[in-house]
Homo-oligomer: A and B are copies of this chain.
Amino acid sequence: MKWISDSKILIVGLGLMGGSYAMGLRRLGYYVSGIDTDKETVEYALSNGIIDEGHTETDEGCVKEADAVIFALYPTAFKNWIEKYQKFLKPGAYITDVTGVKSCIVYDIQNMLREDVEFIAAHPMAGREVSGIRGCDDKIFRDANYIVVPTEKNTKEGIAWCKRLGQILGFKNISVLSPEEHDKMIGFVSQLTHCIAVALMTCSDNRHLADYTGDSFRDLTRIARINDKMWSELFDLNKDALLSEMEKFIKEFEELKSLIKNGDREGMRDKMRLSTERRGYFDKKE
């Protein structure tokens, strides 16, 4: 598939992410079809000009015509779809996904996939605190990272296609990681942070404190509004990497606690100086 504007692109799953992909690609002039089991979602996407064509079931004709298919489904649903409907895929089609965990899914999909279709995994690190088609917005890609997660089975052409997809959608940084590197990274920068935000919000009944919270508390808990179905699945599927990051964090937090308990101001200041220095590297990237 070349990046020519008469390409047809199918999005399977019209949630926040699938809808935002559809919106962006249609804006760029592609013919975009969409499949979602929820009738209201498909109707909304059609009547708001997010897709050109929509189906509530996996329509054989629609799949056969697609030069590329983007799966914006939960990991398990993605696997099920491939098993059941891959026979409809157009020979030579490229398929990609938006899944937030990789090792547990990339190899399985590639192993079960037809030889004449290529799956190049990707993770668009974008999102909002809302879910569903009504929240979709292709502006969320603007300042976000897009990670291509290839394996040895992928071709140079397939990887280039997948990078280009991120580029035309407007992502700021496009990078390449192995599934294992990706999962370790995501366990730290995304999953651990969500665990912290949830635990901070649930550790005590803090409703009466809403009047007193400053920016710090709001910043740390913004992501505590969380899509429970999706994130519980993502945590579960990346369990090993996430648990190891959680343990590192607990160990460090306990160490800081001991310093406070012992009134060791110099020890506290060492930690604070290190955290200030490290945060500096992230500021430079902002």
Binding site for B on A (CB under 8 A): 125-127, 144-145, 147, 173, 175, 185-186, 188-190, 192-204, 206-207, 209-214, 216-229, 231-233, 235-236, 239, 242-243, 245-257, 260-261, 263, 265, 268-269, 271-276, 278-286
Contacts and interface: CB of A to CB of B under 8 A. Distances in A.
B198 A216 contact: no
A193 B217 contact: yes
Nearest to A214: B125
Contact of A263 (B189, B223, B239, B278): B239
A2 to B, nearest CB: 29
Contact of A188 (B206, B224, B256): B206
A235 B269 CA distance: 11
Contacts of A248: 203-204
27 contacts: A175-B211, A185-B209, A185-B212, A189-B209, A189-B214, A190-B217, A195-B256, A197-B216, A200-B249, A203-B248, A203-B249, A203-B251, A203-B253, A204-B245, A216-B223, A219-B223, A220-B220, A220-B223, A221-B275, A225-B275, A225-B283, A226-B276, A228-B272, A236-B260, A236-B265, A239-B261, A250-B250
B246 A145 contact: no
A199 B276 contact: no
